[in-house]
Each structure stands twice: as C-alpha cells, then as structure tokens.
Structure 1
Amino acid sequence: MYRVWNFVTNYSLFLIGGAIIALIWANLNPDSYHYFVDYAIVDDFFIGYLHEDENGNLIRTLTLHYLVNDVLMALFFAIAAKEVWEAVILKNGSLRGKKAATPLFATAGGMFGPIAVYLGLAAVMGSETYSAVANGWAIPTATDIAFSYLVGRMVFGAGHPAVRFLLLLAIADDAAGLLILAIFYPSAELAPEWLLLSLGASVGAFILFNWLPRRLDRGDQLRTRSTFVRKTFSFWPYAVAGCLSWYGFQESGLHPALGLLPIVPAIPHADRAFGFFADAERHLHDLLNQMEHALKYPVEIILGLFGLLNAGVEFSSMGPATWLVLAGLIIGKPIGILLFGWVAAKPLGLGIPEGMRIIDLVVIGFVAAIGFTVSLFVASVAFDAGPVQDAAKMGALFSFFAAVLSFIAGKVLMVEKQEN
C-alpha cells in the first residue's frame, strides 16, 4: 500500500492542489483567472496555437495554456506510454498472453459503455443538446490509473486478484485513450507528411544510439561501444529526437501532447517488466527508467500547473455536459465492464482470475469510473473554451464521487478484502 500511496502523492497531490486553487480562483474572480490562463507569452512564434492575426495571416501564439497542455504535458503522456510499452512488449509484461484477454475485453466494454450512455442520453435530450455535446463522447471513456488503483486496493485489499485485473484494465484504457486523442481529436487541419519527421527522429535515434552500438558489441562481453555511447551522449539524442517528433506532431495537426510517444520505443530499456508501480524499478539502470525517474519532480509540477489551468470552472457552468459525462462514467463504465467481461469469461471461455467473482466486475467498473486527469484533458480538446467545455470539465471533476460508489458497491456485493 505504501508504494501506491507514494505514487499518488508524487504525481497527484500537486494535481489536486492545482485543481482546488483553480476552482476557488475561478469562482471568486473569473476574469483574472481566465486572463492568467490565456496569457500570451510570445506572439508570432514557431510553436503555439494557430490563429489569424488582424491582417488575416496565420500565426502561432504561445500562451501559458498551450505551454502546459500541449508542450509540457507531453512529458506526462510519455511516462504513461512508457508503462504501456513495457506492459505490451517486454517479457512478463502485464498485457501479454492469455492472462490479459478478459481484462482487454472488459476495457472495450469500459469504453463502449460510456460512449453509448453519453450519446444515448444526449440524443434523448434533443437534437440541439446532442449537436452541442456530441464531440465530447470520449471524455467518459478515461480512467485515472493512479487514483483508481489506490481506491481499488482500498476496496478489495492489496492481495485480491481483482486489483491486478483493474490494473490491466486501466493500463489498456490508457493506451486506447492515447489512440483516441491521436485519431479523433486533431489540433488542426491534418498534414500527415509532417509525421515523417517524427518517424525519422525515432528511427534515427534508435539505429544510431541504440541498435548500432549493440550490434557492433556482438561478442564483446565488456560492451565497449554501447558503454561509450551511453556515457558520452546519455539521454541527449533522445531529447533532441523528442523535440523534433513533438514539432512534427504540432505541424501534422495531431495533438502535440502526444508528440513524444514515437520516441519511447527507441530508448534503451530493461529486458523485462516488473509491473506498474513495481518497487523493483527503482533499481533498474536502463536509460528509459533513468529518464522516467529524472522526470519525476518536473512532472509533479507540470500536473499541478495542468490542474491550475484546466480545472477553473464556475459552479454556475454546470449543464447537460456535466451530467452526461458523469452518467457515462458511473453508469456506462460498470455496465460495459460487467457485460464485456462476462462475455469474455463465460461464453468465450477465457475465464477470470482465480478467487475473483463475476459480480466483482461491477465494483471494478465503479472504481474505473474515476476519470479526472485524462477526462479533464480530453474535455479541453473536445470543446472550444466556453460553457460546454466548462460543464464537461465539471463532470470530470465530479467523477471523484465514483470512489464513494465503489466503497458502497463493495459493501453491498460483499467483497471480501484480501491483504498480502
């Protein structure tokens, strides 16, 4: 439990603090808050949001909001991608083999369920409401890994197989969320040729500073060339490649916060995964883990700024999008996870972990309904700044109440806690 709480305090308390300050500030003095959020750092710059100037020319302006959401949050998504990459590709990765089949099915249910509830209820509210909120369909598909894992361990106990099931589901949900952001929420008109810059940066860094030194070291137990490259260049080739890849994403029209994702697989990494939150990773000295550890404190500050710049919504802004996001999360998640998980476990015969009941999927669904971080991020890109975006963000913030529902569901369904 200490390891999980340590992770949450490291990466989430700053986020919560920033969100609380933003809520108070936006409700006491909304004008000064929005002036702060939209403060223009540099006009007519090579990075920033694209818009027309007074002469009709397209220029980019670097605002504080763009700096945090589109530039600095790329480091947060890179860390998330690192965990997904290890879970999929490395020996003993948690998303490899048959053991991940049922959680992956449940993940699909945990995404389709919220989408169906969100769009279905929006359609019932009328065509005008549907048109206004439809683009936010992906907001309730998100699961906040850190908070859901913490709540899951508190509900089920650290040794319950449902906790590992929840973890696999949350990691897969994270991977799917990254794909949704890339495909369905471009930041501008698509210019896919710019992705060649991202691809070239990743492939070039991998070949020159990862694959080639190891290739030349075949038969050399001292790994002379690999050691020389690591000590001489360290992380700098990948940092430069990351900047190029990020710029390629910005110019391509894909959301630039995902711009570091192509570089993660190119970085030298350990040959096995110890699992998300694994304490053993502190002792790994591969470059990928070293870079993650080095980013720990910067990402804490970045998440605090993200909360400060995105959670500032006035309570009067609650509207249809608020309740649709909440309904998608607290109704769609449990139903979707239960339905798809049952189909995988029973009719398809894939089974569930020993010691876990089918009804536990309902509790897992409520735990996974804690959206928060990624839900806030998707809300900020799904809607233009204004009442609908603010209402959707309020729904993402209210998703914390899913934790309360998780404890209630655990009691009603008689979950037996299993500690280590």
Structure 2
Amino acid sequence: MPWLILLSALAAPLLLWGSLHLRRRHRLLADLPTSKAAGVFIGLTELQGTAECAAPLTSTLAAMRCVHYRYVVEEQWSRLVTETTTDSKGRSRTTTRRESGWSEIASGGETVDFYVRDETGIVLVRPEGAKIEPLRLFDETVSRGDALYYAKAPAAAVAHSDHRRRFTEYGLPLHTPLFVVGRARERTDVVAAEIAADPAAELFLISARSEAKVQSGHAVWSWVCLFFGLVCTLGGFLLYQTFRAVPFVPWHFIAVGAGFLAVFTLGWVWMVYNSLVSLRERTRQGWSLVDVQLKRRHDLIPGLVAACAGLAGHEARTQTALAALRAQQQATPPGVAGPDFTGLAAPLRAVIEAHPDLVAQASFARLHQELVATEQRVALARTYYNDIATAYATRLEHIPDRWVARLGRMTPPPLLAATDFERAIVRVDFA
C-alpha cells in the first residue's frame, strides 16, 4: 500500500500540471489568428492549406504519395503460464493462465519538406521536430496464408507466434488539408518565410485535423487530467488514512479536495496572466508588422517607378532614333540620286548594338505585379493585426479573464481605421 500512496502523491501534481498545460495550449490556438500563405510573417503563426510537394514520398503499405508516413508491423503471440502460490497457512496452489500480445517486428517511415498551399500562395514547412498528427492510411490483420504476410515483413516468426500479423500505416497524403502552427522564419535561399522547429516556440504542430478538433481535443484532455488529478489526491488521502488506521473524518476529506482545487485555481490565474501577456506582445508585434510593410512600400515603390520611367524614356529615345533613320532610308532608296544609303548603316548598327532589347513593357508588367503584391501584403498585415487585437480585446472583456488582466493593468489596443491606414501614400506618376 505505501507504493500506492507514493504513486498517488506523484501522479496528482503531474496531472494538475498537464491540465494547465493543455488549457494554455487551447487558449493559444483560440487567440492566434489564422494567416494566409501570402501573409505569413516572422514569428508564431497559424496556417491552413493543403500539403504539396514536387517530389513526394510513396508510402510502404498503402503505396500513396505522401509528405510523411510511418508504418508498423506487429505479430501476435500467446502462451500458457503456470504459477504456484502459497497462502498464509502454507498451502500451495498451482494455476495456469494464458497470456497474449503483439510484438513489433518491423517499422519505418520518412518525412520530406513540403509546402502548404492556400488561395494566396505557398509556404515552405520543414517538419523535422514537429508533432505530427497524421491520417490512418492502412490497417489490416492477416494470417500466414495471405500474400501480405511475408511481403512487407521479415520471414522469421516471434516466439510463441499465432501466425497473425497486423500492418498499420499513418501518413499525410499529398493534397491533404492541414492545420499548421509554428514559428515562421526567413528562408536562406529566397526572400520568403518558412515554418520550422524553434526551441523558443510554444508549439510546432502539423495536424490533419481541423483547428476546431485540435482545440476541442486540448480542452477535453485538460478536464480529464484535472478530474484524475482530483481522484488521485482524494484516493491517496484515503489510502494514507487507511494505512495509518486513522478514523475517517468527512471534513478532512472535503478540505483535501478543496486544497487541490485551490492550487489549481492559483495555477490557472498564473497561466491566464502569462497567456494574456503573450497575447499582448503578439498584438504589439502585429502592429509593428503593419509599419514594416508600410516602410517597405514607401522605400520600394518609388525606386521601381523611377526605374520604369528611365526605361520608358530610354525606349522613347531609341524609337525616335530608329524612326529618323527609317525616314532617311525611305527618302533615299538604293539606286536613286541623293545621299548614299550605305551611310546610314553605321548609326543604325550602333543603335541596334547599344539597345538590343526594349523591355519597358515587361518592366511595367512587373511593376504592376509588385504594386498588387505590396498592397496585398499591407492588407494582410493590417488584417492580422486587427484579428489579434480583437482577440486580445475580447479576452480582456471576458470574465474571469478581465479580473486577471487588472493585475497587469492591461487595456485593449485600438483597431486600425481607414484614416490611420492611409498615411504615407506612395504616388505612381510617370509625368
């Protein structure tokens, strides 16, 4: 019995911590806005889209094209176990029972970097170090007469084998809708963001479940941990009283349960306060992202406009020179009295060699694309800020969160209005 008391004493705080940890994760997912692929910025981000890869893997059992898969092959065994026990009077008793189970005989899997695609673009995801919640791709149990029995597993059998094997495979097939939460960072090969493992990140999750199901799973398991933590606390107290032969006193029992709930309440206040602080800092980061995009627009667009204007002027002068030379050619055709036509060859050749390509039209097309992309990035940054600021303001109004927020004198941030957003307009003028 003492080991049961010790086990209860160890399990109760662990379950209490697990409940608070899961509840914090639930709040994080609820407060974090879902970003678009084109609007993924540096920092913790949440993204939904489909799994895409130019060179996907092929899973071992289901033979499906995947970005991640993992398979396990198990073999069933059973055996008879004979036990001899002796009671307090010295009498021996022999019993026979049957044991059975499954032993792993083969396993494997692969994971490859992939992209998450939505209607705005793609984002590279490097899944190493992530918690992956895949789909079940293959699940079949066969006997020795089935062709699969030896096709994907070793020929040797385990001890006491029943000659039945179970083949299971999980994975993330190509084009599967995914929910990804992780820290975005700048890529080293191109100017874009990627989502990868970061020791400082609160969560790195790649799930084939929807955001709502992931959140509800965290909430349910939080309550389950809290319930069993209370059971372990009360059960351990009763076992301790029984072991020490202490008479049962109801109010002692109630006091122990109330103490456990009081500790949970203190831990919950600590968790909520830290969550609100993190949400406040993410809100400030969202505001800085808007300023970053406005600064980018202010610095980038005038330079692009000047470059396009220079190209346009260059082409205008080139076309004028060519037109003048063409007019001279038509005025003095070969074989007609007048200025020698061959005299035009040298200046015409100089114009052609100095300006082999006229690219103003392509430059204007690229400028248009950059203008659209820039305004889209600004709009996405503004939307992200408004979403996370709304989540923060809502948290500050909810009870009992608002009581905890008063400890840090937290106030709701302002939302971006159109008049605020129209500052530092960059005009595109080629006159």
TM, length-normalised to structure 2 = 0.20
Pair member with larger Rg: 2
Structure 1 or 2: more helix by fraction? 1
- Relative contact order: is structure 1 or structure 2 higher (C-alpha 8 Å, sep ≥ 6)? 1
- TM-score (ref. length: structure 1): 0.21
